[in-house]
Structure 1
Amino acid sequence: MKHKWKIIALAVAAAIAAVLLFMPPLVPDGDTEAPPAPEFGSQVRIDEARLVLPTRAGAPARVYFDITNVGEGHIYISEVAVEHGDNATMTSFEGDDPQGLSTVSIERGETVVFGPESERRILTDYDSNIVPGTEIRMRLTFGNAETVTVPMRVYAPEALVDSGA
């Protein structure tokens, strides 16, 4: 008789273990897992990225692109790095004297243009690896320390005038 109860107890324990093994985890009321954060790169759209070489040797090259904040909140660019360049600087050409910018703010839904006709441009030095027709990479660092890297084509200075870029 003793063995019969041991066998029943063992069978009940095995049944409980099987139920617990296949049962979904219990989540207390009101507690749910947060959805994974979207990739930061999906919160910005960068179009028409290009580097235009200067007409005069030794002058800085210009980096042009459009950036749109398609995310849910405000973002800002805190740093720009250009492949084969040591020093890329965000610059404001508003007024008589060009001024370096430490950050560029982009509101939700806003597009900021870094272009030949805009008040903001990026100037960079460059090495002998940057020649017309090649493709290099630009990395933007944002205020939340996230980065986005995009390819950009290198153009001769005449291409800017010829293509209307």
Structure 2
Amino acid sequence: MLKPVYAALLLAGTGLGLAACSDSAETPSEIAPEGIAGLEITNARMMLPPVAGNPAAVYFDIAYDGERNLALRSADVAGAERAVMHDMMEYDFEMTMGEMPPLMLQPGDRVSFEPGGKHVMAFDLSPELAAGGTTEVTLIAAGGDKHSFAVPIQAAGDER
């Protein structure tokens, strides 16, 4: 009764071993591009801090025309040790900045990450991030889907 189970395991193990020895490498055309269907990012820019060592801010506009609701949970910025999605909120009758909950998007939604509102804070920046260059920002949705886009880097005094 156990012989069929052992035979199946042996065949499965042999197949895995042969697949591991294969000479064919995965070509770029076989790798799915990173992106969330229906999510479009425009007007992206990173504003460097006026004082070295402080965090940078990333702003952009989102247009979502996907087929179902989407929750953006977090962000990653290439060249930063960590990134946090922030928003301005009222606390004790004063406006304060804090970490925002997941951004819930429905098909047709348009949202701006802009000065004085939603934005991504990028902490502990690499010295390689300099005005005139670019970096990559990745938005991570609930469930793990990712959407990456290029972001031009601007000096602190540039127009936002």
**Normalised by the size of structure 1, how large is the TM-score?**
0.69
Give unmatched runs, 5+ long, in structure 1: 1-38
Contact kept, 8 Å, 1:93 with 1:121, in 2: the verdict is: no
Report Cα offsets for 1:12-49 as digits up to 9, x if no partner.
xxxxxxxxxxxxxxxxxxxxxxxxxxx85331000111
Quick one: distance in 2 between partners of 1:41 and 1:92?
23
Secondary structure in structure 2 of the residue aligned to 1:90: strand
After superposition, residues 71-82 of structure 1 pair within 5 angstroms as: 71-82=66-77
Q: CA deviation at 1:89?
A: 0.6
Structure 1 position 104 matched with structure 2 position 88: no
> In the alignment, what sits opposite 1:135?
134
Greater share of residues in helix: 1
- 1:73 positional shift: 1.5
Quote the RMSD (CA, aligned, Å). Answer: 1.5
Q: Percent identity?
A: 22
Cα separation, partners in 2 of 1:138 and 1:40, compared to 1, 3 Å: closer
Aligned residue number for residue 149 of structure 2: 150
Distance 1:112 1:106 in 2: 9
Number of positions where the alignment pairs a residue of Structure 1 with one of Structure 2 = 122
Distance 1:152 1:99 in 2: 23
What aligned pairs does 1:9-20 form with structure 2 within 5 A after superposition?
none
The amino acid across from 1:59 in the alignment is N
Report the TM-score, using the length of structure 2 for normalisation.
0.71
1:42 has 2:37 as partner: yes
* Aligned residue type for 1:115: E
Q: Which residue of 1 aligns with 2:87?
A: 92
Unaligned runs of 5+ in 2: 1-33
1:51 equivalent in structure 2: 46
Give yes or no for contact 2:130–2:153 (8 Å, CA) kept in 1: yes
- Flag the structure with more relative contact order, 1 or 2, with Cα contacts below 8 A and sequence separation at least 6: 2
**Any conservation in 1 of the 2:45–2:60 contact (CA below 8 Å)?**
yes
Query: What is the SS of the residue equivalent to 2:157?
Result: helix
Structure 2 residue identity aligned to 1:113: S
| Structure 1 residue aligned with 2:120 | 122
In the alignment, is the contact (CA less than 8 A) between 1:83 and 1:138 conserved in 2?
yes
Looking at structure 2, the residues matched to 97 and 45 of structure 1 have their Cα atoms a distance apart, in angstroms, of 29
CA contact (8 A) 2:77 2:83 kept: yes
- Displacement of 1:131: 0.3
Tell me the alpha carbon deviations over residues 36-89 of structure 1, each in whole angstroms, 9 at most, x when there is no partner.
Answer: xxx853310001111100112222100000111111211111110000001111
**Which segments of structure 1 move beyond 6 Å, counting only runs of 4 or more?**
none
Structure with the largest fraction of strand: 2
Between structure 1 and structure 2, the one with the greater Rg is 1
